[in-house]
A = this chain, B = another copy of it.
Amino acid sequence: MSNISSITRLEGSTGPVFRRDHQKADGRRLSLYSYAPHDGPVREELLRPETAPGELRRDPLRNSWAIYAPHRQSRTFLPAAAADPLAPYRPGAPTEIPFEDFELAVFENRFPSLAPSLEPGHLSDWASGAAIGQCEVVVFSKEQVGSLAALSQARRVLLIEALIDRYRCLHEAGFAYVMPFENRGEQVGVTLPHPHGQIYAFPSVPAPQLSAVSAFAAGYDLVGEHASWNGKFDVTADGDLTAFCPPFARFPYETWVMPRRPCAGPWAMDAGSVRSLARLLAEVPRRLDALFAQPMPYMMSFQAAPRGADANFQFTVQFFPVLRSAGRLKFLAGVEQFTGVFTVDVVPEDAAERLRAL
C-alpha cells in the first residue's frame, strides 16, 4: 500500500522542505520532513493503547497546574535496540514510523500528557479538568544512537525548518503556547535512548512564559543587556547569534543561544540565522560534553513568543545541564522545590569562562 497524496512543499528560509502527512491507523498524525519528497510505501505500525484522557488540576496555594496522566506509568522504558519504537519499519518489527526510511519524523505521542480536545471550544480553558493540548515526538534521524552534535548540519537545518512548521501548524490549531524541547540522558529521566525531542502545545500560556511576556512588554531588553555585558558571559558566537551563560542562571553551566537582534521566534529568522542556530545546536552540547569529558545530561528548549505575542518578545534556546561536576548531579531538593529559589554552586561568569576556553 502506498499513500503519498498529502505532500506539502514548505518554503523555508533556507530553501524548500517537504512534509508528508500520514494518519496512523489509531488516528494519530505523523509527518515526515525531508529535503526531497518522501514516496516510500506505508508499512505496519505500532498503535496507541487504549487510554483514558488526562486531567488538569490547579493548586490553589501555589496557583500552579499539574497534569495527571496515569496511563504514562506503562510507557516504554529503555527498550532493547531491536524494540526501538523510533526506528524505521523493519519486517516483523513494527515501530511508530511505518516507513523503511526517513530523514526526520514528527508524530503524536503514544503516551501523551495532554490530549487534543474533542470539543475545540475548550481549547482556552485551562481549568476545565480535561488535559487538553498536544504532545508530539520529534525523531531527529533514523539512527538509534547519536545526538544533536552528531547530526549533519543539513539535518539540523531541516530540524529547525520542521520546528518552524510545527509552530505554524500548532498556532493555527489554536494552541496558545508551543514548546519544543529535548531531554537528554537517563539522568533527566529519558526513557528512549534514540535521539529525539518533543513538542508540547498548551491551551494557555504557562506561568514562566507569561512572566517573560510581561517583562518584555514592560521594556526588558535582553539583547541590549547582553551587549552591555561586554562578552563577560559569552561562550561562543556564530554569525549574528550568541551563546552565553545568563548572569541569573539557575543551573550550573546553563547556556542560552540568542539572535543578537530583536527576534520573537525561529519563524522570524533569515537563512543565515537558521544556519547559525543549527551550528550552535551542535557547538553548545559539544562544549557541555567536553566540560567533564562525559555526555552532559541536559534539558533544552526553544523559548519563543506565545501565539500572537511576538511584539518585544526575545527568542532564546535554553540549555539546562544537570551535572555540577564530573559524576555529580545538581539535585533540585528541598529549597528549590518548596521555595522556587535555586542554589547554584557555579557563578555564571565562571561557567562562561570555562565553556569559552574549551
CB of A303 within 8 A of chain B?
yes
If A59-B250, A338-B303 touch, does A70 touch B207 (CB 8 Å cutoff)? no
Chain B nearest Cβ from A191, distance in angstroms: 9
Identify the stretch in A10-18, A93-101, A318-326 within 8 Å (CB) of chain B at 4 or more residues: A318-326
Identify the stretch in A25-33, A167-175, A340-348 within 8 Å (CB) of chain B at 4 or more residues: A340-348
| CA gap between A334 and B299 in the complex, in Å | 5
Identify the stretch in A43-51, A176-184, A273-281 within 8 Å (CB) of chain B at 4 or more residues: A176-184
If A69-B344, A70-B345, A325-B73 touch, does A338 touch B189 (CB 8 Å cutoff)? no
Identify the stretch in A1-9, A198-206, A234-242, A286-294 within 8 Å (CB) of chain B at 4 or more residues: A198-206
CB of A57 within 8 A of chain B?
yes
Contact of A69 among B57, B190, B340, B345 (CB under 8 A): B345
Q: Which residues of B lie under 8 Å from residue A73 when comparing CB positions? A: 324-325, 345-346
Q: A66 to B342, Cβ gap below 8 A?
A: yes
Identify the stretch in A142-150, A151-159, A209-217 within 8 Å (CB) of chain B at 4 or more residues: A209-217
Q: A183 to B334, Cβ gap below 8 A?
A: yes
Q: A211 to B320, Cβ gap below 8 A?
A: no
| CA gap between A324 and B299 in the complex, in Å | 20
Contact of A338 among B190, B208, B343 (CB under 8 A): B208
What are 28 A-B residue pairs whose CB atoms fall within 8 Å in the complex? A57-B247, A59-B248, A61-B208, A61-B212, A62-B212, A64-B341, A66-B249, A66-B250, A67-B343, A67-B344, A68-B344, A69-B344, A70-B347, A179-B334, A179-B335, A179-B338, A179-B339, A181-B338, A188-B331, A188-B334, A189-B330, A189-B333, A200-B335, A202-B341, A206-B341, A207-B339, A299-B338, A303-B338
CB of A58 within 8 A of chain B?
yes
Closest 5 CB pairs of A and B: A189-B331, A206-B339, A181-B334, A59-B248, A61-B212
Q: Which residues of B lie under 8 Å from residue A63 when comparing CB positions? A: 211, 215
Q: A66 to B341, Cβ gap below 8 A?
A: yes
Residue among A60, A207, A222 with the highest chain B CB neighbour number at 10 A: A60
CB of A113 within 8 A of chain B?
yes
Q: A339 to B209, Cβ gap below 8 A?
A: yes
| CA gap between A247 and B60 in the complex, in Å | 10
In the complex, besides A62-B211, A70-B347, A188-B331, 4 extra interface pairs with C-beta distance below 8 angstroms are: A61-B222, A77-B328, A299-B333, A300-B334
CB of A35 within 8 A of chain B?
no
CB of A301 within 8 A of chain B?
yes
